[in-house]
């Protein structure tokens, strides 16, 4: 039951946070840290946050990969939630 609660809490928190929440701070990409060059995934997290908030142009400018990654993440999240809900029903 705790896994399902966390599974709903984390996406809800990401949706409630402002779209620019991950814009500040040091870069987390190893390519950017060590070589000073962005990798193909740089900006994907920020792009997905912007998509969640309806800022599609800003998301596209950050990284178009966000439009591919977010639907895949949502698909696997729904699949995971349904699996865990079925396991909870079987225990009851």
- pLDDT tens-digit profile, the chain (92 residues): 677 677 777 777 777 777 777 777 777 788 888 888 888 888 888 899 899 899 999 999 999 999 999 999 999 988 988 888 877 766 66
**Number of domains within the chain:** 1
Q: Is 0.95 surpassed by the pTM of this model?
A: no
Range of the domain at 38: 2-91
Q: Which two tokens stand for residue 72?
A: 């895949």
Residue 55, number of CB atoms within 10 A of its CB: 16
- Report angle CA 90, 8, 79 to the nearest 5 degrees: 55
């Amino acid at each position: 039951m705790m896994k399902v609660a966390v599974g709903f809490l984390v996406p809800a928190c990401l949706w409630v946070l402002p779209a620019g929440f991950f814009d500040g701070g040091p870069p987390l990409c190893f390519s950017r840290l060590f070589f000073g060059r962005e990798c193909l995934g740089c900006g994907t997290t920020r792009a997905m946050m912007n998509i969640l908030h309806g800022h599609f142009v800003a998301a596209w400018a950050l990284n178009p990969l966000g439009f591919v990654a977010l639907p895949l993440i949502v698909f696997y999240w729904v699949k995971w939630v349904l699996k865990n809900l079925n396991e909870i029903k079987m225990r009851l």
